Amino acid sequence: MQQFRIAPSILSADFARLGEEVTRVIEAGADLIHFDVMDNHYVPNLTFGPMVCAALKPYSTVPVDVHLMVEPVDDLILSFAKAGADIITFHPEASRHVDRSLSLIKDSGCQAGLVLNPATPVYVLENVLDRLDMVLLMSVNPGFGGQSFIPQTLVKIRQVRDLLDMYECESGRKIALEVDGGIKTDNIAAVAAAGADTFVAGSAIFGQADYKAVIDKMRQELASAFS
């Protein structure tokens, strides 16, 4: 049976109570904590640094999923690995040497992934699949939370799913497919049906009073779509 993971993005959490927010959302059923790192350079916003990740790590009993929207990436890869990241993903456009950046992540003991923006072609994955543990597809343009899901992403999810399934058949190694942007209870089943297995949700969870009710509803939607 397909295993799905829900990764609440603390970009939409209450910044004044981040430790408490991490605890609450994990108790509500989160599988990962998604950590959006923006530098006001690669994307037009500024969020968290490694010190915040290190401070929140003791609150997280699930893996910390760090998404680097920064340029350049290599120094921050090392900093976030030291700060306690379990998974580190970055955008290929932000690295001069993608293979080298992936090697830095793996050599630091973290899982590694690439992030594809809505207009980034799928073929950039083909020569580095052996280095990847995760592919993250952006279903919005990166930089801000609360955006609407781009429907064309469903086509891209299917394309990447086919590529990853082919690689798994050849290598025996599974690569996770994560989607980030506009994920809600009313579209999560369609995103899963296209081939995603990991779902980043920010305002859809942290914008509600009852985190558990939202996560439970997401799981119900996933279960009903695959029953």
Just list the catalytic residues.
Answer: 36, 180
Nearest to 68 by CA among 90, 100, 52: 90
Strands (E), the chain: 5-8, 33-38, 64-69, 87-90, 111-116, 134-138, 176-180, 198-201
C-alpha 226, offset from chain centre: 22
Query: Residue 39: helix, strand or coil by DSSP?
Result: strand
- For residues 31 and 100, what is the distance between their CA atoms, to the nearest angstrom? 29
Using omega within 30 degrees of 0 as the cis cutoff, is the peptide bond preceding 72 cis? yes
